[in-house]
Amino acid sequence: MFFATASHNSLFLPVISKNHAELSSEFVSLNGEKVVLDKNITVLGFPGSNIEEVKANLFNLNQKIYNKYQGFKDFQMVMILPDGNQDKIKAILLEFRRLSNDLKSWHFLFGKPEAIEAYYETFKFKNKLDQFTGSSFVYILDKEKNLRGRKGQKIKGKVEYRECYNTISAAELHNEMSDDVKILLREYRLALKKNKRKDDFRDKIEQEVIKK
């Protein structure tokens, strides 16, 4: 029932670009844990060093996306920002705890601005990072590190292309991005069911062979 609430009926979220690079070893997580993109559905963002300015954007993400999907296995939020902002992020996470029961899928990574710029450029996104090494846009990556989004024809015949979602807009996160994350999660759920059916069929054949 949860997956049936998406506002459009697409079973698959289009692939915008493929085989992106894994997170750089130069990035260090806030809690010292190892964070990877591979085999995870990831919301990837680059908040930058102007934390006070983007604080509301992070709260939008937490409320509109994280709180809705944090219970799903392999779903994570990964934010990469310049070193030196650890204490500010810790303060934000303290505020998050008043609104969220579990923050284990929130990951904040820190690195040198030039390393962040270099990693960001590997994606060839249409938007550029600002003077604070940040952006208000976030991106959805699948378990194979492919960028997912929207491309093709809209109902009214206009060509639609979307590779990112603006965290400034709570409405955009609540509507377009929430729907797209839901579709991607449903896609993997359907694939898992299909594989399970294949495994059940194989197991039944094996059992019949053993009986004989």
Give pLDDT < 70 ranges for the chain. Answer: 1-10, 153-157, 194-212
Tell me what pLDDT residue 53 has: 95
**Total residue count of the chain as it appears in this document:** 212
**Per DSSP, which regions of the chain are E strands?**
15-17, 28-29, 41-45, 75-82, 106-111, 137-141, 147-148, 150-153, 159-162, 165-166
Q: Which residues contact 97 (CB under 8 A, 6 or more apart)?
A: 103
How many domains would you assign to the chain?
1
3 state DSSP class of 93: helix
Instruction: Give backbone dihedrals phi and psi of 148, rounded to 5 degrees, phi first.
Output: -110, 155
CATH number of the domain bearing residue 43? 3.40.30.10
Give pTM, 2 decimals.
Answer: 0.86
Structure tokens at 119: 């990693």
Instruction: Give backbone dihedrals phi and psi of 45, rounded to 5 degrees, phi first.
Output: -140, 165
- pLDDT tens string 156-210: 667 789 999 999 999 999 999 999 999 999 999 888 776 554 444 434 433 443 3
Q: Domain range for residue 204?
A: 3-211
DSSP letter (8 states) at residue 130: -
